[in-house]
C-alpha cells in the first residue's frame, strides 16, 4: 500500500476528486495536488455549513451539500449555478443522495431526489430540466442514498434502506430509464436475500461486489455468488479496486482479496471511521473520505492532513 501525506493549514469543509487532485469546493475551490502544491479557484466561501461534495467526471459541475441536511448548491466551474433540495423526511438520519452521470450524447445528468425520498430523477445539469418528470410515477418505498454510477455510465446504484432499517441496494439502467422514466420506480435488480447489504460497489458495468459477507452479483442474470467470509468487520465504504481486490475502511484502511477474504495490506495508523450504513446520524467526527473511480485511490482527511492511499 502506497501513501501520500498532504498537510492541511486548516480543516477541510468538503473533499472530492477533480480529475487527479482533490478539491474543497466549499472553501473557495481550494485545490490539493498530490505533489503538495495548493492553490485556489478564487471562488466563493459559503456562509452555510456544507460538509460534503460530489464532482462530475469532467470536473465542470459539482454539488456541495449537507450530508444530513436538505440543502445543496450546484456549481459550474466553481460558480453558483442553482440551489437544490431534498425531502425533509428523516433527512437528518441518512446521507443526501446525489451523483452525476454522462449520457451517450455527452449530456451531464444530475441524479437526485427532488420530489420525495423514494423518487429518483434525472436532471439536465446545464438547463435544470427534469428529464424524468412524467405522469404516473409510483416509486417503491425505498430511502435512496449513497448513489454510485458505474465507470461506463451505464448503471446507477442506490445504497439505501427500507423501513424498518434494513440496508439494501437498488440498481437502474441509466439509458433505459431516460427512455422510460417509470423504470426508476423499481430496481432492475431483484435479490432474494435475508441479510442487510451494508455496502456495495461496482466491479464493472455488469457486476457488483456486496458486503458484509463478500458476494458478487451478475446484474444481467440477477445471480449471486456464494458468500466469502472474513474475520474483519466490513463497513460502509467497501469499494472494488479490480476483479479480485477491494478497499474496506471500517476503523482503518484495508485491502482485501474478496475472493478469499484475506487482508493483504492495512494501515492501522490511519483512522477511517466506523460507518456501516447510509444511516449515520449517530456517528460523530467521521473523517472525510473520497474515492477516485479512475485511479482507485482513496483519500482520507483527518484534522491536519489528507492521506492518499493506493494499492501499488
Residue 42 has pLDDT above 90, yes or no: no
**pLDDT, averaged across the chain:** 96
Q: What nine digits make up the cell of 174?
A: 441509466
Would you state the pLDDT for residue 151?
A: 96
Model pLDDT for residues 266-284, shown as the tens digit of each residue? 999 999 999 999 999 999 9
Query: What band does 203 get if pLDDT is binned at 50, 70 and 90?
Result: very high
Model pLDDT for residues 123-137, shown as the tens digit of each residue? 999 999 999 999 999
The CATH number covering residue 199 comes to: 2.130.10.10
Model pLDDT for residues 71-91, shown as the tens digit of each residue? 999 999 999 999 999 999 999
Query: What band does 241 get if pLDDT is binned at 50, 70 and 90?
Result: very high
Distance of CA 131 to the CA centre of its chain: 22
Q: How far apart are CA 275 and CA 253, in angstroms?
A: 12
Q: What nine digits make up the cell of 181?
A: 422514466
Answer whether 306's CB lies under 8 Å from 299's CB: yes
Number of domains in the chain: 1
Residue 195 has pLDDT above 90, yes or no: no
Q: How far apart are CA 189 and CA 45, in angstroms?
A: 41
Query: What band does 47 get if pLDDT is binned at 50, 70 and 90?
Result: confident
Answer whether 136's CB lies under 8 Å from 182's CB: yes
Supply the pTM of this predicted model: 0.96
Domain that holds residue 178: 2-310
Answer whether 119's CB lies under 8 Å from 148's CB: no
Residue 44 has pLDDT above 80, yes or no: no
Would you state the pLDDT for residue 52?
A: 98
Residue with cell 478539491: 23
Amino acid at each position: 500500500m502506497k501513501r501520500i501525506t498532504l498537510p492541511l493549514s486548516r480543516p477541510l469543509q468538503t473533499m472530492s476528486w477533480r480529475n487527479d487532485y482533490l478539491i474543497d469546493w466549499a472553501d473557495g475551490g481550494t485545490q490539493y495536488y498530490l505533489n503538495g502544491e495548493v492553490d485556489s479557484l478564487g471562488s466563493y466561501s459559503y456562509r452555510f455549513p456544507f460538509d460534503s461534495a460530489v464532482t462530475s467526471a469532467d470536473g465542470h459541475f459539482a454539488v456541495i451539500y449537507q450530508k444530513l441536511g436538505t440543502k445543496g448548491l450546484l456549481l459550474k466551474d466553481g460558480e453558483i449555478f442553482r440551489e437544490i433540495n431534498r425531502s425533509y423526511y428523516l433527512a437528518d438520519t441518512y446521507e443526501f443522495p446525489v451523483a452525476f452521470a454522462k449520457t451517450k450524447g455527452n449530456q451531464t445528468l444530475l441524479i437526485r431526489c427532488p420530489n420525495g425520498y423514494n423518487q429518483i430523477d434525472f436532471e439536465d445539469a446545464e438547463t435544470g430540466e427534469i428529464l424524468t418528470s412524467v405522469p404516473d410515477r409510483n416509486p417503491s418505498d425505498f430511502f435512496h442514498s449513497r448513489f454510485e454510477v458505474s465507470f461506463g455510465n451505464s448503471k446507477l446504484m442506490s445504497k439505501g434502506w427500507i423501513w424498518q432499517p434494513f440496508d439494501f441496494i437498488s440498481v437502474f439502467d441509466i439509458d433505459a430509464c431516460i427512455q422510460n422514466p417509470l423504470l426508476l420506480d423499481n430496481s432492475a435488480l431483484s435479490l432474494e436475500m435475508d441479510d442487510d447489504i451494508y455496502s456495495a460497489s461496482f466491479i464493472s458495468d455488469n457486476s457488483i461486489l456486496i458486503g458484509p459477507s463478500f458476494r458478487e452479483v451478475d446484474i444481467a442474470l440477477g445471480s449471486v455468488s456464494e458468500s466469502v467470509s472474513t474475520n474483519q468487520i466490513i463497513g460502509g465504504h467497501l469499494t472494488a479496486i479490480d476483479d479480485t481486490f477491494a478497499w474496506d475502511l471500517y476503523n482503518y484502511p484495508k485491502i482485501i482479496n474478496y475472493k478469499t477474504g484475506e487482508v493483504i495490506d492495512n494501515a492501522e495508523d490511519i483512522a477511517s471511521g466506523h460507518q456501516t450504513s447510509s444511516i449515520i446520524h449517530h456517528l460523530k467526527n467521521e473523517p472525510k473520505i473520497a474515492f477516485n473511480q479512475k485511479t482507485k485511490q482513496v483519500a482520507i482527511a483527518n484534522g491536519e492532513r489528507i492521506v492518499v492511499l493506493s494499492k501499488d
